[in-house]
Amino acid sequence: MTNQAFILLCMVVFGVVGTCHGGSLRKGYYKDTCPDAEEIIKKATEKHVANDPTLPARFLRMHFHDCFVRGCDGSVLLNSTTNNIAEKDAIPNLTLAGFDVIDDIKAEVEKKCPNVVSCADVLALAARDAVSFKFQTPLWEVLTGRRDGRISRISEALANIPSPLSNFTALVRNFTSKGLNVHDLVVLSGGHTIGVGHCNTFSNRLYNFTGRSDQDPSLNPTYASFLKTQCKNLSDNTTFVPMDPGSALTFDNNYYVTVKQNKGLFQSDAALLTNKGSRKIVDELLDSKKFFTEFAQAMKRMGAIGVVTGNEGEIRKKCFVVN
């Protein structure tokens, strides 16, 4: 199937290009044009992660936010211009960090292979390599061949990035629109085992859950009391806490333990216990081996959402601006 035919099929089946999977991604896409590309990205990523252990969570989240808006096309990396406010400046993305590091990694690749490797692939590989750093082995396979999109709109980020305030129905609707299912939703939520959450993304659960100055009854009371010592009021948008208490820098399946204890930080975490099917998956992922296996498969599926391939898009020289 040609790339044009694939895109046409996507438009017929899904209504938009951004939900289709796969395209022409393949293993070792750059083996002829830039054989050292993946090793260059890995070494550059590991150098930065060694100095900043928060980068794995930051890159994983950035990759997720990129893929959920127009597909995994590097559009989240683009800066706003005089005539356009980009995804990067949407509220859900204001707490993304590490763009400068992605730019640095891309620059390392450009030195060896100018105008060959896309920013979308750099981000996908850097996310994998950053999370895998402590394990010294790749945690999931990243197929390559993505090209960079030229469009980045704030409105699309607001419409497509799952909200931490979402209930189960909204989450399923969002993931389904990307060609992902409930299993993917629960597995990918496990990414919350690393990183932090800002108070304003969950403080309504502490102080005004139903608009009556009340607390979310599904939130562990002891944990809620602790969170109140960190997040003093609803307007605090600078303080942050670990999403996985005591394990914010360790990539493991402990997230599901905390969710089962009703200590999921966001409403979207707690939502996983409100459906029988998703509760069953949470229970299954308490098995560490199963979690790592399932997470690897789900990341491969997510990394193929709406990819731009073939002659579409471009290869950006600098990730923050179109050529």
- What's the pLDDT tens digit per position in 132-159? 999 999 999 999 999 999 999 999 999 9
**Residues 243 and 196 sit within 8 Å (Cβ to Cβ):** yes
d(CA 146, CA 29) in angstroms, rounded, equals 9
pLDDT digits (tens, 9 = 90+) for 280-300: 999 999 999 999 999 999 999
The contacts of residue 120 (CB under 8 Å, 6+ apart) are 66, 72, 73, 74, 146, 147, 148, 149, 307, 308
Given the residues 65, 183, 192, 198, select the one marked as catalytic. Answer: 65
Helix axes 55-67, 99-112, angle to 10 degrees: 80
pLDDT digits (tens, 9 = 90+) for 17-66: 344 554 589 999 999 999 999 999 999 999 999 999 999 999 999 999 99
Active site residue 63: no
128: nearest Cα among 114, 144, 115, 116: 144
d(CA 10, CA 20) in angstroms, rounded, equals 6
Take residue 17 and report the two structure tokens written for it: 């290009």
Check pLDDT > 50 for residue 188: yes
190: nearest Cα among 73, 121, 284: 284
Please give the average per-residue pLDDT across 89-101, as a whole number: 97
Q: Is the pTM of this model over 0.85?
A: yes
Please give the average per-residue pLDDT across 236-246, as a whole number: 93
Please give the average per-residue pLDDT across 120-136, as a whole number: 98
pLDDT digits (tens, 9 = 90+) for 52-90: 999 999 999 999 999 999 999 999 999 999 999 999 999
Check pLDDT > 70 for residue 97: yes
- Looking up tokens 């999931």 gives 140
Longest dimension (CA), the chain: 62
264: nearest Cα among 133, 161, 167, 152: 167
Alpha-carbon torsion angle 19, 23, 26, 31, nearest 10: -120
Helix axes 55-67, 37-51, angle to 10 degrees: 130
